[in-house]
Amino acid sequence: MPSRRCIIDLGDKRDPRSPRFRIALIRSELVRTSIEGYLTQRGTVLDRDTPPEWFQWLDDLHTIFQTRCADPPQDDEPDDGKQPFNYFVRATISTSRRSKQRATGEDFYHESALLPPLKPLG
CA distance 97 to 78: 39
By percentage, how much of the chain surpasses pLDDT 90?
64
Cα 7 to chain centroid, rounded: 11
Over range 93-122, report the average pLDDT: 77
Which parts of 1-114 are beta strand (E)?
A: 4-9, 44-46, 55-57, 64-68, 87-94, 101-110
Residue 101 pLDDT > 60: yes
Q: Average pLDDT over the chain, rounded to whole?
A: 87
CA distance 72 to 51: 7
Residue 119 pLDDT > 70: no
What pLDDT band is residue 49 in, cutting at 50, 70 and 90? Answer: confident
Q: Any idea what DSSP says for residue 4?
A: E
Residue 58 pLDDT > 50: yes
Residue 67 pLDDT > 70: yes
Residue 1 pLDDT > 60: no
The CB density around residue 44, as the number of other CB atoms within 10 Å, is: 26
pLDDT at 117: 59
Q: Is the pTM of this model over 0.75?
A: yes
Residue 83 pLDDT > 80: yes
Residue 75 pLDDT > 90: no
Q: How far is CA 23 from CA 31, 90, 106, in A?
A: 9, 13, 12
